[in-house]
């Protein structure tokens, strides 16, 4: 994984022994986790817990910006906890929690709303995109979402935020908000950097390679819970390009469909783009598409099986997210208290 190079300003006490660098990230349980979520950020998280002090959460408050079916939301949050663990996040080595279990997120979110400008929120591409898709429900939460996301991040003073390419703008605005706040009150927040993978950071839809893979287009989206036959069907039907060349070559501008499949195959197998081009030289798309499907089936099989096993043990999952919320709250409340004091709120 390649990280962006621009050093941040530290708000930590420099007299202390240097602690492990910290990372934080979250995923919205607004639909089943999909291959984009997995290949973009999630599959890198288990390596990170060995080196960094990591916090990973279910961004359930964020899902409320779009109407949710309550029972389905609860089920997805629990499934996502199981999937985090099944993907290799050892709860003994990192902190796994549910956003709404740590009230400091909403509390700091409000404060940061007051340090975030209307103009900058209006420029957010995700807001524009979601507002155009949910015209009947362009609510205030959808608009101020980036300030809550900034709160999610800044509460934990992380060095890095591992995300996919589509979240880069939200990490940028988080940095701007932190710098604005620090500019007024001194170094309260560490200003974090986005941490974006080189391969897999923008997985495109299988049936519409011009759009990113997302929960809103199920046929173009492979979820972590999909059965092998469904995964194979989606890959066999994947849109490839109408060029006459019909060879497996990585060229995102000319051949977005095939290039997306190459990216997925590379991320799933660890092979380079050049090796993949050689492997399928002289073969048409007909051989390539099922090969990518099979690689993904094998990649996701252990995750699906382990998730099912974990979901049968609800008390274990509960113990994980309870312990996570406790640890996260301790850290988050410290930052929140500092912020409240700085802005002039009376301590209780």
List contacts with ligand TYM (CB under 6 A): 24-28, 36-37, 40-41, 59, 62, 149, 152-153, 161, 163-164, 166-167, 170, 201-203, 212-213
Name the 3-class secondary structure at 160: strand
Closest approach of ligand TYM to the CB of residue 110, in Å:
16
Closest approach of ligand TYM to the CB of residue 174, in Å:
8
Closest approach of ligand TYM to the CB of residue 278, in Å:
26
58 closest CA partner among 337, 317, 342: 317
* Strand 22-27, strand 53-58: pairing: parallel
To the query of whether residue 212 is one of the catalytic residues in this protein, the response is yes
By C-beta, is 41 or 293 nearer to ligand TYM?
41
Burial 42-51 (b: 16+ CB within 10 A, else e): bbbbbebbee
Residue 274 exposed, middle or buried by CB count within 10 Å (0-12, 13-18, 19+): exposed
Q: Which of 93, 215, 234, 334 is catalytic?
A: 215
198 closest CA partner among 294, 272, 303, 285: 272
Q: Which of 212, 234, 255, 289 is catalytic?
A: 212
Helices H / strands E in the chain, number of each = 14, 5
Residue 168 CB: number of other CB atoms within 10 A?
16
By C-beta, is 161 or 303 nearer to ligand TYM?
161
To the query of whether residue 215 is one of the catalytic residues in this protein, the response is yes
Residue 3 exposed, middle or buried by CB count within 10 Å (0-12, 13-18, 19+): middle
Q: Which of 130, 234, 255, 289 is catalytic?
A: 130
- Structure-block tokens of residue 269: 């197998």
Radius of gyration of the chain (CA): 21
By C-beta, is 203 or 291 nearer to ligand TYM?
203
By C-beta, is 250 or 316 nearer to ligand TYM?
250
By C-beta, is 103 or 246 nearer to ligand TYM?
103
Closest approach of ligand TYM to the CB of residue 81, in Å:
15
Closest approach of ligand TYM to the CB of residue 19, in Å:
20
| CA–CA distance, 223 with 236 (Å, rounded to integer) | 16
Query: Which residue in the block uniquely carries the two structure tokens 């006459």?
Result: 244
Catalytic residues: 130, 212, 215
């Amino acid at each position: 994984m390649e990280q962006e190079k621009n050093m941040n300003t530290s708000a930590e006490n420099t007299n202390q022994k240097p602690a492990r660098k910290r990372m934080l990230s979250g995923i919205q349980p607004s639909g089943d986790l999909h291959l984009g979520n997995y290949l973009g950020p999630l599959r890198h998280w288990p390596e990170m817990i060995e080196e960094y002090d990591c916090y990973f959460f279910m961004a359930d408050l964020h899902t409320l910006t779009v109407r949710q079916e309550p029972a389905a939301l609860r089920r997805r949050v629990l499934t996502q906890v199981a999937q985090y663990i099944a993907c290799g996040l050892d709860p003994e080595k990192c902190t796994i929690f549910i956003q709404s279990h740590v009230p400091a997120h909403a509390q700091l979110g409000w404060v940061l709303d007051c340090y975030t400008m209307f103009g900058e929120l209006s420029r957010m591409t995700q807001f524009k995109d979601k507002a155009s898709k949910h015209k009947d429900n362009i609510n205030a939460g959808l608009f101020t979402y980036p300030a809550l996301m900034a709160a999610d991040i800044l509460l934990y003073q992380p060095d890095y935020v591992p995300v996919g390419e589509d979240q880069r703008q939200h990490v940028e605005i988080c940095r701007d908000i932190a710098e604005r706040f620090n500019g007024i009150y001194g170094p309260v927040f560490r200003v974090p950097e986005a941490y974006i993978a080189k391969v897999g950071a923008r997985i495109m839809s299988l049936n519409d390679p011009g759009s990113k893979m997302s929960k809103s287009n199920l046929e173009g989206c492979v979820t972590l819970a999909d059965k092998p036959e469904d995964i194979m069907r989606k890959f066999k039907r994947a849109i490839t390009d109408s060029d006459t060349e019909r060879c497996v070559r990585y060229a995102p501008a000319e051949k977005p469909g095939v290039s997306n499949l190459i990216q997925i195959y590379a991320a799933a197998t660890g092979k380079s783009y050049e090796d993949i081009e050689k492997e399928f030289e002289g073969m048409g798309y007909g051989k390539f598409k099922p090969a990518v499907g099979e690689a993904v089936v094998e990649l996701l099989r252990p995750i699906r099986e382990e998730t099912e096993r974990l979901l049968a043990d609800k008390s274990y999952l509960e113990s994980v997210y309870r312990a996570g919320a406790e640890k996260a709250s301790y850290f988050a409340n410290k930052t929140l208290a500092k912020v409240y004091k700085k802005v002039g709120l009376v301590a209780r």
